[in-house]
Amino acid sequence: MSQPWENEEYVKYTLWFVFACVIYSIIGFSWGALMGGIHEFRHFVDQRMFGKLIVRAHTHVNLLGWVEMAIFAAVYYIIPRLVRRPIYSMKLVKVHFWTHNLGLIGMVVFFSTAGTIGGMASVTMTPAEVEQLVRPWLATMGIFGTIVLLANFVWAYNIFMTCKGWRRG
């Protein structure tokens, strides 16, 4: 019987989670350095209406990109070894990887867009007008956030099914 880690596709996707983690960490760390190091950028995100949404985008790159991807990779690596069986569904691993990345990138783009538009518009528009302008961007961001949540449910189900009945296997 072959071991789960001998499955080339399993190894590839586990490593892709690691690679995504590294890429998101570099993006997130760089973004934070720019926000902290460039006075105008720091002032924009701290002082302009909706500027903090850019900080939220940065936070989500770090949390859902760097941290979560590292956790996913580690769990995908450890669980099959722990229960001595292959992952329940490679198809679900793939769905998880692609939907999580799609959702995260969408969240970051729309958080950043809403923050930039809101921050720039707040110079000449009333708070109510800026709120109206930003609302559709945040609604779209929420759709992408739901995609990330669904991806996490896919992951949880796949891990649960892999572990279920481990003593019988």
Residue 124 belongs to domain with CATH number: 1.20.120
In a domain, 169, yes or no: no
Q: What is the pLDDT of residues 134-148, one digit of tens each?
A: 999 999 999 999 999
In a domain, 145, yes or no: yes
Which element (helix H / strand E) includes 69? helix 68-83
Residues 65/24, Cβ–Cβ less than 8 Å: yes
In a domain, 19, yes or no: yes
Domain that holds residue 15: 4-163
In a domain, 22, yes or no: yes
**Of 64, 60, 56, whose CA–CA distance to 134 is shortest?**
56
Q: What is the pLDDT of residues 24-80, one digit of tens each?
A: 999 999 999 999 999 999 999 999 989 999 999 999 999 999 999 999 999 999 999
Domains contained in the chain, number: 1
**Of 103, 104, 138, whose CA–CA distance to 118 is shortest?**
138
In a domain, 156, yes or no: yes
In a domain, 168, yes or no: no
- How far apart CA 40 and CA 32 sit, in angstroms, is 14
In a domain, 119, yes or no: yes
Q: What is the pLDDT of residues 96-151, one digit of tens each?
A: 999 999 999 999 999 999 999 999 999 999 999 999 999 999 999 999 999 999 99
* SS3 call for 23: helix
The band of 165, judged by pLDDT with boundaries at 50, 70 and 90, is confident
- How far apart CA 104 and CA 60 sit, in angstroms, is 8
